[in-house]
């Protein structure tokens, strides 16, 4: 990870997709990422969970058709495999939501923008592989 300590002229954003039948609870999130909420990085990961949920709640866009999922391939840089996951989830009646995180936000949100990540559990799927600065 690179950290720039002087003036940064631009910011980054990260588009991500959330697929599930339920809202993302803190407990389910921490279990999926393998973090003990009372451990040394528990607070940071609770904040990351909060930032993801805030982005979904306030800026999330529901993807309800396979055609809409296909149209995201060129604009959000989702891989063909992720687009297929979206289309399969839509077919199964799951919620498929895209949202963005920004490096201009709090530390936890900024950290999420600095690393590509994918979280897959039996309860949800998040993919944020298209980070850019």
DSSP 54-122: HHHHHH-EE--SHHHHHHHHHHS---HHHHHHHHHHHHTT-EEEEEEEETTS-HHHHHHHHS-EEEE-S
> For 113-130, what is each residue's pLDDT tens digit?
887 889 999 999 999 976
> For 37-95, what is each residue's pLDDT tens digit?
999 999 999 999 999 999 999 999 999 999 999 999 876 678 899 999 999 999 999 99
pTM of the predicted structure, to 2 decimals: 0.86
């Amino acid at each position: 990870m690179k950290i720039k300590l002087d003036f940064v002229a631009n910011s980054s954003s990260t588009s991500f997709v959330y697929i599930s039948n339920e809202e993302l609870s803190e407990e389910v999130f921490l279990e999926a990422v393998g973090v003990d909420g009372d451990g040394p990085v528990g607070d940071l990961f609770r904040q990351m969970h909060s930032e993801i949920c805030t982005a979904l709640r306030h800026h999330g866009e529901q993807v309800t058709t396979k055609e809409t999922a296909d149209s995201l391939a060129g604009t959000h840089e989702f891989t063909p495999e992720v687009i297929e996951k979206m289309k399969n989830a839509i077919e199964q009646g799951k919620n498929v939501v895209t949202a963005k995180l920004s490096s201009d936000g709090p530390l936890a949100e900024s950290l999420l923008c600095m690393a590509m990540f994918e979280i897959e559990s039996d309860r949800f799927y998040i993919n944020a592989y298209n980070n850019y600065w």
